[in-house]
Amino acid sequence: METLGEKLKSVRIARKMSQSQVAEKLFVSRQSISKWENDVCLPDLDNFQKICDLYNVSPNEMLADTPEALVPTAEKSESHGEPESCRKENHEEPESRGEPEKRGEPKYLAGNTENKDTIC
């Protein structure tokens, strides 16, 4: 399975962009792009969303285990390539079911001190 950094690099290369070009568009340093692509640390959510928008890839595609996001394609629609049945406008709001579902803490909050889970 590819790491997020490997995916970021693959998609950037598929889009024929340099680290410097991406950094300029995101208003970050080239070193930040390098750290993200080499799994030294992770982009924060704001920068991750900007990266996905820049590469025209949905966050779900970028985080998925499949290499679908890495295949260079023509410009995708505003739905980011989601099947029509998955688009928000095709779903009704679910009724509240009482207590919200509890989820585990993200690795970087659960005492994991490995550098690759550091957000920068």
Domains for the chain: give ranges and CATH numbers: 1-69 (1.10.260.40)
Q: Kindly report, residue by residue over 2-12, the tens digit of the pLDDT.
A: 999 999 999 99
For residue 99, name the pLDDT band (cuts at 50, 70, 90): low
E strands present in 8-118? none
Q: For residues 9 and 15, what is the distance between their CA atoms, to the nearest angstrom? A: 10
User: What is the mean predicted confidence (pLDDT) over 85-89?
Assistant: 48
Cα distances from 32 to residues 43, 86, 89, 99, 109, in angstroms, run 8, 33, 36, 40, 21
Phi and psi for 3 in degrees, rounded to 5? -80, 165
Residue 101 clears pLDDT 70, i.e. is over it: no
For residue 86, name the pLDDT band (cuts at 50, 70, 90): very low
**Which of 44 and 103 is assigned the larger pLDDT?**
44
If you count them, how many residues does the chain have? 120
- The burial of 11, by beta-carbon neighbours within 10 Å (0-12 exposed, 13-18 middle, 19 or more buried), is given as buried
User: What is the mean predicted confidence (pLDDT) over 81-99?
Assistant: 49
Average pLDDT, the chain: 75
Partnered with residue 42 across adjacent β-strands are 119
Partnered with residue 119 across adjacent β-strands are 42
Residue 1 clears pLDDT 50, i.e. is over it: yes
